[in-house]
Amino acid sequence: MNSTTSPHYRGGLLMLLKQLGVLSEDFDASQLNQERPLRHLEQLGKVRERDALERIASYLEIPVVDLSELAGGAEFGGLLEQIGAEYCWKKCVAPLYREKGRLVLAVSDPCEPDVAKTVEFACSLPVKMVLALESQIARVLSEEIAATDQIFDLLPIVDTDSIVEMHKTNEEASGSDSEESSAPIVKLTNKIVADAVESRASDVHIEPLSSFVDVRYRVDGAMRAYLEVPKRLQNAVISRFKVLAGMDISERRRPQDGRIRARVGDKAFDLRVSCVPAAHGEKVVLRVLRSDIRELTFEKLHMPSGVERSIAHDLQSRGKLLLVTGPTGSGKTTTLYTCLNTLHDGSSNIETVEDPIEYRIQGINQIQVNESINVRFASALRSILRQDPDIIMVGEIRDEETAEMVMQAAETGHLVLSTLHTNDAPSAIARLAGLGVQPELLSSSLIGILAQRLVRKVCQSCKVPAKISEEEAQTLQKYGLDAAMLFDGKGCEKCSFTGYNGRVGIYSYLHVDPT
C-alpha cells in the first residue's frame, strides 16, 4: 500500500493479468484498446471482466463494488467537477464519496499510473481505491455528465438571486461557498427551495411521473405548477433532499420523514420532509416552516378584536381546556403556536406533545409522538403530568384515551390547549362527547372553542369591481352591504395570474360558561 492507501502494481494491468493466469502469456498488447482494456479483452474473448476484477481484487486486497444501483448525487457531481469529467472519462474512474477523511474512487484499472496522485491533488484528500466494472463506471459518468447539461438548461427557468443554504438539522450551516455548493444538482435543488419561499409556498411537491418529475407548489391552499424536471435527474434530486433530511437513501420501499434547516437570503426556515414510495419512484413533499417563532402574534393572525380579547382573557385561566377547531390546512397549528408564544414569558413550565413538532421553541419542552416506540399522545401526556407543568399543548385529540387524559390534565389545574377536526365550534362539544367525555366534565373544564378557516384574498394589484347577479345584489342589500365593496381578481404577474394573493383567517369563538 502507498501513502494514498491505493494499491498499485507497477508492471501494468496486462502483466498482472498474465501473472494471475487470467490472460495467456503470448497475448499481443498491440491488439488492445488502452482506454478500456478489460472491456476490450472481454470482447476479444480473452477474459471475463467480472472474473478478472475478482482475481485482481483478491491479489491486491481491495474490494469490488457494484455500481448498478448507484445514482449520482450532489457529492458525486461536486467531486466530478473538482477532478474534471473529461479526465474521469478518459481514465475510467468515478469519485464516489468521502468516507472517514478519504475519497473512495472506483477504478477498473488499479495499475493506471498516477491516477491516485492526480485525484488526490485535485480533491486534497487521500484516495481509497475500489474496483468496478468499466461498463458501470462509464454509465454513472455518462449519466452525471448528461444530467449536468440538463440541469444547466433548467437553471435559467428557476433563476433567483437569493443565497441559499441547506443542511441537516444536527449540523451547522456550511455556507454558500461550501465544496458542493457549485454542483449543478445542488444549484437546482437550492433554486427549487428559494423559489418556493419567494412564492410563499407552504408545501413543495416533487412527484415522479412516467416521463418526468413534476415539481409543484401549494400557494394559498391551491396547487400551482412550477417545473418539469427530466426523468434522468429523478434519483439525483430525490437523493439530495433525502441526504439533507438525514434519511437512508438506500431505503426506497418504506416511507421516511426528516427535517432540513434552510436559509434563503437572510431568512431561516425549517423544511419538514416526507418521502413515500410511489408507482414511478419516491415522492418527496417539503413543508416550509418559518424558524423565527417570534413572528407569530395575534396581530398577524388578523383576528377580530372581540375574538382576540376573548382568547387573551381565557388564556390566563388555569384548570381549563381551550380548543382550536377546523379542517386540515385551516391554520390550527399556527394559532396554537401563537397562543404558546403569547404565554411563553418565563413564568410557567410549558410542555407539548406534537406529531410532528413543526416549530421548535426555546424554553418549551416539546415531545415528538413516535408510534414505533410506543410514544403516543396519551402515553406522552401521562408522562408530562409528572413533569410539574403549568401549561400543556396537545397537538390533536384523536382518540378516547387522549381525550380522557386531556380532561384529566385540565381538571388537575393545568391550562390545556389542543385541536379537533370539526366544521364549527359547537360541533367540537359533540365530538368530545362522542369520544366518551362526560357532560359534567365538559361544562366544568372546557372554557373556549375557536373555529377557523383560511380563505384566499383577492389580489390587490389586479382587482376589479365584481359583476354580481340581481339575486346576489338583493342578498347584499338585505344585510346592509354595498355591492361596490365586492371585487374580483383578473390576474397579473404578482399573483401568477390566479387573481388571488395571500390568505386571511375567518374566526368564530365560543366561550363556554360553566353556569
Three-state SS string over 5-66 comes to CCCCCCCCHHHHHHHCCCCCCCCCHHHCCCCCHHHHHHHCCCCCHHHHHHHHHHHHCCCECC
pLDDT at 318: 94
In which band, very low, low, confident or very high, does the pLDDT at 503 lie, cut at 50, 70 and 90? Answer: very high
Q: Which DSSP symbol is given to 486?
A: -
In which band, very low, low, confident or very high, does the pLDDT at 2 lie, cut at 50, 70 and 90? Answer: very low
Quote the CA–CA distance of 244 and 70 in Å, as a whole number. Answer: 18
In which band, very low, low, confident or very high, does the pLDDT at 48 lie, cut at 50, 70 and 90? Answer: confident
Residue 178 has pLDDT above 50, yes or no: no
Q: Nine-digit cell at 179? A: 465544496
Q: Nine-digit cell at 194? A: 428559494
In which band, very low, low, confident or very high, does the pLDDT at 281 lie, cut at 50, 70 and 90? Answer: very high
Quote the CA–CA distance of 494 and 291 in Å, as a whole number. Answer: 25
pLDDT at 399: 93
Stretch 61-68: mean pLDDT: 87
In which band, very low, low, confident or very high, does the pLDDT at 435 lie, cut at 50, 70 and 90? Answer: very high
Three-state SS string over 330-364 comes to CCHHHHHHHHHHHHCCCCCCEEEEECCCCCCCCCC
| 281 neighbors 208 (Cβ within 8 angstroms) | yes
Q: Nine-digit cell at 291? A: 424558524
SS3 488: strand
Quote the CA–CA distance of 36 and 303 in Å, as a whole number. Answer: 71
Q: What are phi and psi of 423, to 5 degrees?
A: -80, -25
Residue 145 has pLDDT above 80, yes or no: no
Peptide bond into 356 cis (omega under 30): yes
What pTM did the predictor assign? 0.69
Q: Quick one: residue 408, left, alpha or beta (phi over 0 = left, psi -120 to 50 = alpha)?
A: alpha
Stretch 286-304: mean pLDDT: 85
SS3 133: coil
pLDDT at 426: 94
Cα distances from 437 to residues 411, 433, 486, in angstroms, run 12, 5, 44
Structural domains present in the chain: 13-143 (3.30.300.160), 159-290 (3.30.450.90), 293-459+499-511 (3.40.50.300)
Lowest-pLDDT range of 23-27, 49-53, 197-201: 23-27
Residue 1 has pLDDT above 60, yes or no: no
Question: Which range has the top average pLDDT, 55-59, 236-240, 292-296, 335-339?
Answer: 335-339
Instruction: Give me the torsion for CA of 130, 134, 137, 143, rounded to 10°.
Output: 180
SS3 72: coil
What does pLDDT average to over the chain?
85
With pLDDT > 90 as the criterion, what percentage of the chain qualifies? 44
pLDDT at 18: 78
| 357 neighbors 451 (Cβ within 8 angstroms) | no
Q: Quick one: residue 92, left, alpha or beta (phi over 0 = left, psi -120 to 50 = alpha)?
A: left
Higher-confidence residue of 39 and 118: namely 118
Quote the CA–CA distance of 410 and 291 in Å, as a whole number. Answer: 30
In which band, very low, low, confident or very high, does the pLDDT at 173 lie, cut at 50, 70 and 90? Answer: very low
Residue 315 has pLDDT above 60, yes or no: yes
With pLDDT > 70 as the criterion, what percentage of the chain qualifies? 87
Stretch 348-371: mean pLDDT: 91
| 323 neighbors 419 (Cβ within 8 angstroms) | yes
Quote the CA–CA distance of 94 and 478 in Å, as a whole number. Answer: 75
Residue 159 has pLDDT above 60, yes or no: no
Higher-confidence residue of 464 and 80: namely 464
Residue 4 has pLDDT above 50, yes or no: no
pLDDT at 38: 74
pLDDT at 179: 44
Higher-confidence residue of 114 and 65: namely 65
Q: How far separated are the first and last CA of the chain, in Å rounded?
A: 86
Q: Which of 104, 94, 109 minimizes the C-alpha distance to 125?
A: 104
